[in-house]
Amino acid sequence: MVGKFASILGPLLMALVPVMVAGANERDAILVLILLFVGGGLLLFRVDTRAGIEAARQLEQE
């Protein structure tokens, strides 16, 4: 589902940023996509992988 959302959101942002922001061009749209990647990286950075591994082990035991 995330892949489908990304395949719509990326091109949509590339098309809408130059239209919605006065004086913007395709480079500005790429900067918006970079900000999305940075935001996604920050979200992934907060994930507690050890807790996830432990939760997966507990589910396997049940």
**Is residue 36 predicted with pLDDT exceeding 90?**
no
Quote the pTM value.
0.64
Mean pLDDT within 4-16: 85
**Is residue 1 predicted with pLDDT exceeding 70?**
no
What is the separation of C-alpha 51 from the centre of its chain, rounded to a whole number of angstroms? Answer: 22
Query: What's the half-sphere exposure (Cβ side, CA atoms, 13 Å) at 58?
Result: 6
User: Quick one: pLDDT band at residue 13, thresholds 50, 70, 90?
Assistant: confident
- Count the neighbouring beta carbons within 10 Å of the beta carbon of residue 17: 19
> For residue 11, which of 39, 32, 42 has the smallest C-alpha distance?
32
> For residue 26, which of 13, 7, 35, 8 has the smallest C-alpha distance?
13
Lowest mean pLDDT among 20-24, 34-38, 54-58: 20-24
Mean pLDDT within 27-51: 90
